[in-house]
Chain A
């Protein structure tokens, strides 16, 4: 049973980490969550991003969602925008690919070319 005590513990831990966090810019992961995306399985993709980032304790990455990007046949789609403004568009994603992107691109800085939109066209 989820208790407020547990929430309190999470809070304490987060407060400690706020002080340790370095302030380099944030990377954003934007997952397409329009009707087409949801039907194609975007929610588990978003969960996989969050879960993997959490597991590996990656800071400075925001995960959010957006509406229809306009290429519905390539959903689930996620855009990775690094702090320097470089955007990589990943298409036809699944939870496994999302986790690989976290490790290869977000942590090691190497975009996964074979999942990008240019490879899919």
Chain B
């Protein structure tokens, strides 16, 4: 078991491990090339649930023959008991909308501390189906909703009720029965704050653990529900879903721009997640012995990634090209591994010379998969205190020096170039949905969100240069009394200077910015797969595909559901 001090000494100082440099890792396109790994939050959650053998079963099962009604799961985790409450409601096809602006959903759900009685369920029923328009209390700590897959939901019920199994190729094209369109936590809509969850509910005291758990439960409920409806429809002919197909059914997810500001507004947390991933890689490069067993596993996993990527279906041309490159990269990596693999540094160097960014990052995820003993303990260090505290005594000249060192990438951007400040981010009055506009909309520009970190660093640097020259002895505190407008960016620069990886390196105001990279980065940390961009602003993906099922808890556990493949039946 490692410690925070040991991790710190691995990140910096005389005994630090050879981490990839921040200029390489924090480049936005590379962050947007990350894939799921064994440190992803879905993986760490499933490991916890299965290793601790949580007891999860329905305590209320009140669905009609069409699957509408209420289900409550009682969850006996290692430290406490929780309830997962689901309301299944009829909506017409034309009411079904994945956007955040929707007002009706097939399913709405809440994760609640403790057990729930009838009165509390009724209280939830008045509010949970309304989502943003409702209010819950601080017993609730995750709220979510989901819509049925138009392509799969009724189809699976039809075939099961007829005593058949669904066509696996059809399931492979859309690997889920429901898509979740929003998962809310952390104090929204009256729910408990992260501070409470983190301090009181140890079972969910990792980033997004509660949110991931809700998606995992949704996936299991979806399987339960289709079997229930099919059985009610034709009890005589009904057959249960094949276990392998069940494992392959995940949960769909639509993620839009709402996720992008999170990454910019939580720089310390994102930096911490990157640190753990990079530290795992550095441990493997330094400590990971390569023997026949490891080589054999590597080839199996690279083959699996190859097949997984080939099975990924997207209509998006950009992603299709990327996937083709990854397939090619994996072919090359397999060949290199068979012929030349002497050290991890060698294959990393090979990938950096010959593979696309997505191919390079696929290799990193595979390497992490090979050494659970070097990687898994880092899952306990994904939290951090998010205090953007000012260092008031820092001389203004030192602050200037830090910008020159850590924000070199921002100073290298020509913000006067055409298009460099063309994009602005704003919140719509419609559910405060984040959106991306053009500066030609003058009124909208006045209300833009402060996400242009690079540009803010540049402006701060320019003001600081003049000030430090005129007042060489002044502190940062004194500078900020004179220039209060830069208080936010100064605080950020000072704090991020203490982190290993610092800020995301990109001009988010550029006309060619691809928010998709931000979305994909966060989703990779969550652990999703099958990225299917629907525009540069939102992406469909699949969660928990291949994960073990609730019914598997208590049986032998294999944490081997990385890059799941279509089952061959």
A and B bound?
no
B interface residues, Cβ below 8 angstroms from A: none
